[in-house]
Amino acid sequence: MNPINNIMPKLLNNIDLTITEAENVFKYLTSGEASDVEMAAFLATLSMKGASSDELVGAAKSLFPYVLNPLKLKINTIDIVGTGGDGLKTYNISTAVAFIVASHKKVYVAKHGNTAVSSQSGASDVLTELGINISIGDELINKCLEDTNMCFLFAPNYNKAFKNVAKVRKELMFRTIFNLLGPLLNPVRPKRQLLGVFSDKYVFTIAKTLKALKSEKAWVVNGSDGMDEITLTGFTKVAELNNNKINEFEINPTQYGFKLCNQEELKGGSPSKNAKKMLNLFQGEKGHYRNIVLLNAAAAFCISDSVKTYEDGIDLANQLIDNGKALKTLQNLIKITNE
């Protein structure tokens, strides 16, 4: 039986689906059997209601079998990723953070990403501009992690789940549950995440979802300006998952000695412009871009248990830039991905 017929009345009455209902309907959507009209009606109605944690868990469970895992190493990884869709067109922040975090001892970063969603330069765009080959085989992916503590997993190379909904998603022209699902479908299933979302209404929801999906430790963040990162323009809402408990708090950059800036001062551009800015950062350039990267790297160091306090994380990130280790990680990744 077509599961959409059963669940649409619930959604239209603003009633959340159960995990099983969500799992069944997403199996139907990705099977290729659903019509474009059915998909559009379901996705639009769910977007108006707002996705619940159970709906995200059910959807993720139905999509995991479509995601190929290239990892052969028995190591724990962290992902530093955003949903995209915040529309702020900033420099690449989480990608820069990934290099800094990977340059510290035994923290392994499995950075999951795609082409630009709401900016001119997504993770894959800036990495390609920097000279990194983003379409490499499993053997080199594992070598990258082993030798540089970092790999980049280009979502379309591993995730075949979105294929049958891609056309409808594009035509809808607004964010759907698939924007939230993307960061949950990292092929190597990392146990730790720094995950930015485009709306504060999803901060706690995504933390609850990660808990249900057996994440060990995570921060889900959203800036007061709507940024899917820890922002430098104001405060940031955080939901921290740790020891199976969720704790909510806010980060104010001024408490850590940073001066607030406006959005224009963080605005990026083309992959070429963003890549140059990242190289300048790793070569020691000071400024607002460096400061926002420090704020986010500090969070990743807390999540990976590399530091005891957020302040220690800021200090560590500063050191790894200034001693050239972040730049070295970038150079090594360029070399290995082009072997």
Phi/psi of residue 245, nearest 5 degrees: -120, 150
pLDDT number for residue 88: 82
**Angle made by CA atoms 168, 120, 338, in degrees to the nearest 5:** 100
Topology agreement, domain 3-65 and domain 77-158+177-337? no
E-strand stretches of the chain:
77-82, 108-113, 150-154, 192-196, 217-223, 236-242, 245-251
pLDDT number for residue 303: 98
Show me where the domains of the chain are located.
Answer: 3-65, 77-158+177-337
Q: Is the pTM of this model over 0.75?
A: yes
Candidate CATH numbers 3.40.350.10, 3.40.1030.10, 3.40.190.150, 3.30.43.10; the one for domain 77-158+177-337: 3.40.1030.10
CATH topology of domain 3-65: 1.20.970
> Is 235 strand, coil or helix?
coil
Structure tokens at 158: 């591993």
Structure tokens at 38: 């059915």
pLDDT number for residue 243: 96
- pLDDT (tens digit, 0 to 9) for every residue of the chain, 339 residues total? 689 999 999 999 999 999 999 999 999 998 889 999 999 999 999 999 999 999 999 999 999 999 999 999 999 999 999 988 778 889 999 999 999 999 999 899 999 988 755 456 789 999 999 999 999 999 999 999 999 999 999 988 998 877 888 889 888 888 899 989 999 999 999 999 999 999 999 999 999 999 999 999 999 999 999 999 999 999 999 999 999 999 999 999 999 999 999 999 999 999 999 999 999 999 999 999 999 999 999 999 999 999 999 999 999 999 999 999 999 999 999 999 999
